[in-house]
Amino acid sequence: MFGKKKSEKEEWKVKRVVKNAMYDASVFIHQKVFSRLRKNRRGTMKKAKLKDRLFIWCMLAIPLTMFCVFYIGVNFNSILLAFKEYDSLTGGYKWAEFSQFKLFFDTIANEPFMKYAIRNSAIYFSVSLFVLLPIQVMNAYYVYKKRFLGKFFKVMLFMPSILSTVVLVTIFRFFATSGLPDICKALGIKVPDSVFGLKHGMTTMIVYTIWQGFGGSIILFVGTMTRIPTSVVEAAQIDGITPLKEFFSITLPLVFPTVMVYIVSTVSGFFTLQGPLFTFYGKEAYKEHYTFGYYYFVSILGDAGVKNYPMASAAGLLFTVIIAPITLGLRKFFNKICPPVDF
């Protein structure tokens, strides 16, 4: 009897030792296997992150290169050119300190066409800001409200922005030289001698600018208006609001940040406005029709324009010094009176 109990006790000890050994073995195997899996997973994750980063940098390489070369490089070189002058003997540029800035002020003070450039630049600026902007916003509002033929007008008004400038100029020139005289004769109105001549050319350019830019920003404004919450509009309509009052009380305040961007960009481009002068006249526009943008643009064209690069660079630097504080101040003013609205 005692022998039987002793054997059972020994058997229980053996089972316990085997069980503990099996447990230790399973723990050892688990640690070894899963440590390798963790290492492999970490390596896989590192490779995935490396591939992701490599893909991102490859996608950014081209735009970053373009930005560095064609923006930073070009603008830095333009700043340097403002302090140089063309050397006809060597065909290069040499340092000339502030001579190009002196030449700029002399041109402004002594050249008769500069008074026309100032006047015409102000005219194009006023047309863009006080004529085209209200028309574009009202057209966008008409399309946004889905009035009669709204989709048709949306396409037709945006069409001039899609078509090539050469096509638009050809159409407008044909109408002005062939269609307009016939219309004037039919109405008993005296036909102008030449709508592209010295007397009527500036008026023709303004008319073309308005026609071409009639629906230029309609997609931008319509896209902003469609983001206005319908609950706000429906609540106002329940209260009996009229479409006109809805425009001035709801739509315009909510889309004003977009309008502000248009205004600020127009102000910042005051000295680069040239209208359609080059597309109609090339380099042969009348000096009475000049703008700042057109004058400095045609002055650097062709082989002869190489010597004018420093003058144009100095003018651009001065224009930036003048217009940058105005633009930033205007933006700050608009943000203060009409803070951005999230909806």
121-157: pLDDT as tens digits = 999 999 999 999 998 898 888 888 888 877 787 777 7
Cα–Cα distance for residue pair 18/12, rounded to 1 Å: 10
Looking at residue 2, what is its pLDDT? 44
* Largest Cα–Cα separation, the chain: 141
Contacts of 106 (CB under 8 A, 6+ apart): none
SS3 content of the chain, % helix, strand, coil (to 5): 80, 0, 20
Cα–Cα distance for residue pair 252/258, rounded to 1 Å: 10
Token pair, residue 259, equals: 């309008």
> What b/e string do you get for 121-136 counting C-beta neighbours within 10 Å, with b at 16 or more?
bebbbebbeeebbebb
Looking at residue 90, what is its pLDDT? 85
Determine the 3-state secondary structure of 84 from DSSP.
strand
217-272: pLDDT as tens digits = 788 888 888 888 888 888 888 888 888 899 998 888 888 888 888 898 899 889 98
Q: How far is CA 71 from CA 64, 83, 261, 265, 272, in A?
A: 10, 19, 22, 18, 17
Token pair, residue 252, equals: 């315009």
Token pair, residue 279, equals: 């597309």
Residues in the chain where the model's pLDDT stays below 70: 1-46, 340-343
Looking at residue 163, what is its pLDDT? 76
Cα–Cα distance for residue pair 308/33, rounded to 1 Å: 74
pTM of the entire predicted model: 0.77
Looking at residue 49, what is its pLDDT? 77
Q: Which residue has the tokens 């980063």?
A: 53
Token pair, residue 257, equals: 């940040």
Token pair, residue 335, equals: 């943000």
Cα–Cα distance for residue pair 192/139, rounded to 1 Å: 31
Looking at residue 14, what is its pLDDT? 60
